[in-house]
């Protein structure tokens, strides 16, 4: 429209006082990397298929703390039979298949398939969230200002990615010199077929970046039996949700110029001022449904003449959710980001950027297309860019620009669709009320202290969970710690089994036999847990766990229509995969909170971060009282560890 054109001319003219000084025509990117984004992609190592022998050995070691002697012997027998029989054959076939699929990893297909085949609602069960810290300049935390700045930075990230000038993801063992410009130049001259090795010799590990294709313009589409991932990289519009209404506007021009920030802001003002009441039948609720149910309603939606509007939702660059309430505390923030009130979300979008009235901001993401590493990278870049180079300043003048290019999506809803929305809302409301989220902070020590004690901070937190669970349940419970395998081509994750024979011994000492041990002896026990955990963590990161391998063998059997081998029907196999403790950690200075739901109805979802001088976690559960107890026990274990580290014996 005329308004948009005028605005564009306006901000292109050199001398006007309105636009933040850090924004100019060249600022369409978060940075310009010397090394092309996908420089290492071709030469990434392939995810190894572990030896079957090793997987069985690791599996049995993980089963040991969970099983009584006679159960253990039964499982051992089944494992042996599997290893020498059907397992051997499956393994051989898996290797052959893997050799034929050189461009990817053995886990990629089956893993994606498992996500997409699950019929459970994705909200609460799969979608995690990560929230940004507040903008350090408090006046920038105004909802409108922050929404504009974060959106512009997100689009700059997209542009950098598409232009292949986004820095490649690299895990640096020795950041000082391998991060230097000279080194990067050297790497950029290496041909892509060998570039990975150049980095490797400098202890810099390039990570797989294949997941980024699904970051933008993407959506999970419900289908009967198995969902699909949809992307349309040609689409240039942003989807904005407000009070359950849907709006779109083009945010990129055909050659990738970002709409002027004040124009974006004008559009957002337009949307914020549009409707104060919640949509009568907010379609977002449908994305909280069982996937088959939702797939059927989606068909109805399409048939009722909503194809174009649905397409605009699916293909939008991402979904910006402008919530119309203030966040009261950390727990409220977690609820808002993990599941919200349902009406102002489209959980199927690859990710949604959510911003509340008080400027709290976070990402809720659909999990099938990608893992924490990719999303965290995006979060870090967007936070850094939006705070260092904010596109708009508070009290800017966008309000004077007219905004005519916002389209409000219209839907034709028949009675059947309307009642489907109502039913979805009722179910969702019931579920979300059952969910409890509580943050916890421990201030006595953090990463620096534990390293000084020559132990692994991650192992210490995991051990604290083990001891707490042992106190609460009187036994060792199945535990999952997520570990990225992004160091490999198309790698995803591997499981670290943090419940070990060492943690069991340690938990027994701390809970059952507290008085029997000296501080020195307890310290030894903690040390052995730490050492072994570090080893398991290294194995997992190298693709040498057992979970993905055994999973892939079973998937192979099933996909051929073979009966599921007895090994997998073992109650002990089911039990070890019933993870009471589901844990995941991230380390970032731009993240305030994060979390995800439990994976079993009577379990906990534990997101944690170990900072230099303290540590914190954010735990979800469907059982509030148990969660309170767990948190007390967790604090108790950490206090005990601190006493032991300080050489004090336990009280």
Q: Does 340 bind ligand BUJ (CB under 6 A)?
A: no
Q: Pick from 463, 436, 367: which is nearest to 127 by CA?
A: 367
CB atoms within 10 A of CB 276: 9
Q: Does 368 bind ligand BUJ (CB under 6 A)?
A: no
Minimum Å distance from CB 439 to ligand BUJ?
4
Binding letters toward ligand BUJ, positions 404-443, x by CB under 6 A: -----------------------------------x-x--
Q: Does 596 bind ligand BUJ (CB under 6 A)?
A: yes
Rounded Cα distance, 628 and 240, in Å: 37
C-beta separation of 111 from 490 below 8 A: no
Contact range with ligand BUJ by CB under 6 A, out of 187-195, 399-407, 558-566, 586-594: 586-594
Q: Which of 482, 503, 620, 637 binds ligand BUJ (CB under 6 A)?
A: 482
Q: What share of the chain is helix, strand, coil (3-state, %, to 5)?
A: 50, 15, 35
Q: Does 595 bind ligand BUJ (CB under 6 A)?
A: yes
Q: Does 607 bind ligand BUJ (CB under 6 A)?
A: yes
Rounded Cα distance, 377 and 208, in Å: 12
Q: Does 491 bind ligand BUJ (CB under 6 A)?
A: no
Per annotation, catalytic residue among 367, 412, 490, 549: 367
The backbone torsions φ and ψ at residue 383, rounded to the nearest 5 degrees and listed phi first, read -65, -50
| Beta carbon nearer to ligand BUJ, 206 or 372 | 372
| Beta carbon nearer to ligand BUJ, 4 or 486 | 486
| Beta carbon nearer to ligand BUJ, 125 or 649 | 125
Q: Which two tokens stand for residue 547?
A: 């979970």
Q: Does 121 bind ligand BUJ (CB under 6 A)?
A: no
Q: Which two tokens stand for residue 280?
A: 């009568």
Minimum Å distance from CB 373 to ligand BUJ?
9
Contact range with ligand BUJ by CB under 6 A, out of 234-242, 339-347, 463-471, 588-596: 588-596
Minimum Å distance from CB 484 to ligand BUJ?
8
Q: Pick from 637, 363, 349: which is nearest to 506 by CA?
A: 637
Minimum Å distance from CB 213 to ligand BUJ?
19
Minimum Å distance from CB 416 to ligand BUJ?
35
| Beta carbon nearer to ligand BUJ, 343 or 608 | 608
| Beta carbon nearer to ligand BUJ, 23 or 608 | 608
- Catalytic residue flag (residue 367): yes
Q: Which two tokens stand for residue 31?
A: 């940075």
The crossing angle, in degrees rounded to 10, of helices 52-63 and 86-100 is: 120
First-to-final CA distance of the chain: 74
Q: Which of 151, 582, 620, 621 binds ligand BUJ (CB under 6 A)?
A: 582
Q: Does 110 bind ligand BUJ (CB under 6 A)?
A: no
**DSSP assignment, residue 15?**
-
Q: Are strands 351-355 and 319-322 parallel, antiparallel or unpaired?
A: parallel
Q: Does 586 bind ligand BUJ (CB under 6 A)?
A: yes
Q: Pick from 41, 619, 188, 608: which is nearest to 372 by CA?
A: 608
**Exposure of 86 by Cβ count < 10 A (0-12 exposed, 13-18 middle, 19+ buried)?**
middle
Buried b (16+ CB within 10 A) or exposed e, 113-128: eebbeebebbbbebbb
Half-sphere exposure of 115 (CA within 13 A, CB side): 21
Q: Which of 609, 620, 621, 637 binds ligand BUJ (CB under 6 A)?
A: 609
Contact range with ligand BUJ by CB under 6 A, out of 147-155, 511-519, 582-590, 623-631: 582-590
441: CB partners within 8 A, 6+ apart: 614, 615, 616
Minimum Å distance from CB 490 to ligand BUJ?
14
Q: Which of 98, 208, 371, 453 binds ligand BUJ (CB under 6 A)?
A: 371
Rounded Cα distance, 21 and 17, in Å: 8
Buried b (16+ CB within 10 A) or exposed e, 411-422: eebeeebeebbe
Contact range with ligand BUJ by CB under 6 A, out of 29-37, 66-74, 141-149, 593-601: 593-601
Binding letters toward ligand BUJ, positions 199-218, x by CB under 6 A: --------------------
**Beta-strand (E) ranges in 84-162?**
129-132
Q: Which of 49, 52, 525, 593 binds ligand BUJ (CB under 6 A)?
A: 593
Q: What angle do CA 491, 174, 529 make, to 5 degrees?
A: 70
Q: Does 402 bind ligand BUJ (CB under 6 A)?
A: no
C-beta separation of 135 from 164 below 8 A: no
Minimum Å distance from CB 480 to ligand BUJ?
6
Contact range with ligand BUJ by CB under 6 A, out of 117-125, 316-324, 389-397, 601-609: 601-609
Q: Does 493 bind ligand BUJ (CB under 6 A)?
A: yes
Minimum Å distance from CB 599 to ligand BUJ?
5
Minimum Å distance from CB 118 to ligand BUJ?
12
Residue in the structure block whose two tokens are 């009320």: 433
Name the residues annotated as catalytic: 367
Q: Provide the binding-site residues for ligand BUJ, judged by CB under 6 A.
A: 128, 130, 371-372, 439, 441, 482, 493, 582, 584, 586, 593-596, 599, 607-609, 616-618
């Amino acid at each position: 429209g005329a308004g948009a054109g005028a605005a564009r001319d306006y901000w292109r003219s050199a001398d006007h006082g309105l636009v933040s000084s850090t924004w100019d025509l060249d600022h369409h990117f978060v940075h310009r990397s010397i090394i092309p984004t996908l420089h290492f992609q071709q030469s990434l190592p392939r995810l190894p298929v572990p030896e079957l022998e090793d997987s069985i050995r690791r599996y049995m070691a993980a089963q040991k703390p969970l099983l009584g002697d006679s159960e253990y012997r039964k499982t051992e027998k089944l494992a042996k039979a599997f290893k020498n029989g059907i397992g051997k054959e499956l393994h051989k076939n898996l290797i052959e298949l893997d050799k034929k699929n050189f461009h990817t990893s053995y886990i990629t297909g089956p893993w994606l398939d498992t996500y997409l085949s699950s019929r459970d609602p994705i909200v609460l069960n799969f979608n995690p969230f990560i929230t940004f810290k507040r903008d350090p300049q408090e006046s920038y935390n105004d909802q409108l200002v922050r929404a504009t700045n974060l959106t512009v930075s997100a689009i700059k990230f997209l542009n950098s990615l598409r232009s292949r000038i986004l820095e490649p993801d690299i895990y640096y063992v020795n950041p000082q010199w391998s991060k230097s410009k000279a080194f990067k130049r050297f790497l950029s001259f290496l041909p892509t077929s060998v570039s990975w090795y150049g980095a490797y010799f400098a202890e810099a590990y390039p990570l797989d970046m294949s997941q980024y294709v699904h970051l933008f313009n993407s959506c999970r589409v419900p289908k009967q039996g198995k969902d699909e991932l949809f992307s349309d990289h040609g689409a240039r519009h942003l989807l904005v949700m407000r009070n359950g209404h849907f709006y779109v506007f083009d945010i990129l021009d055909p050659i990738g110029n970002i709409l002027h920030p004040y124009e974006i802001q004008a559009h957002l003002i337009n949307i914020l001022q549009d409707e104060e009441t919640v949509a009568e039948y907010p379609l977002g609720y449908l994305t909280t449904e069982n996937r088959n149910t939702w797939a059927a309603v989606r068909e109805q939606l399409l048939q009722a003449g909503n194809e174009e509007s649905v397409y605009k939702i699916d293909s939008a660059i991402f979904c910006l959710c402008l919530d119309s309430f203030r966040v009261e505390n950390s727990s409220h923030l977690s609820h808002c980001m993990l599941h919200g009130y349902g009406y102002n979300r489209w959980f199927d979008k690859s990710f949604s950027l959510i911003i509340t009235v008080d400027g709290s901001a976070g990402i809720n993401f659909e999990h099938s297309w990608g893992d924490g590493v990719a999303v965290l990278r995006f979060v870090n870049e967007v936070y850094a860019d939006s705070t260092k180079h904010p596109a708009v300043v508070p009290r800017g003048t966008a309000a004077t620009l007219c905004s005519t290019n916002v389209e409000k999506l219209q839907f034709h809803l028949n009675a059947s669709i309307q009642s489907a929305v109502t039913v979805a809302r009722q179910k969702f409301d019931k579920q979300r009320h059952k969910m409890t989220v509580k943050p916890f902070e421990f201030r006595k020590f953090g990463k620096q202290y534990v390293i000084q004690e020559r132990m692994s901070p991650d192992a210490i937190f995991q051990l604290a969970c083990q001891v707490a669970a042992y106190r609460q349940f009187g036994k060792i419970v199945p535990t999952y710690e997520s570990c990225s395998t992004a160091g490999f081509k198309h790698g995803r994750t591997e499981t670290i089994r943090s419940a070990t024979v060492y943690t069991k011994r340690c938990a027994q000492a701390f809970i059952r036999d507290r008085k029997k041990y000296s501080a020195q002896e307890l310290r030894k026990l903690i040390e052995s847990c730490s050492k072994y955990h570090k080893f398991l963590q290294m194995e997992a990161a190298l693709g040498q766990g057992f979970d993905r391998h055994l999973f892939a063998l079973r998937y192979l059997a099933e996909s051929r229509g073979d009966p599921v081998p007895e090994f997998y029907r073992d109650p002990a196999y089911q039990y070890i995969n019933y993870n009471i403790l589901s844990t995941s950690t991230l380390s970032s200075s731009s993240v305030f909170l994060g979390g995800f739901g439990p994976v079993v109805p009577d379990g906990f979802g534990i997101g944690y971060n170990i900072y230099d001088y303290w540590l914190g976690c954010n735990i979800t559960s469907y059982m509030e009282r148990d969660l309170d107890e767990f948190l007390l026990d967790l604090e108790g274990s950490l206090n005990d560890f601190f006493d032991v580290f300080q050489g004090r014996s336990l009280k």
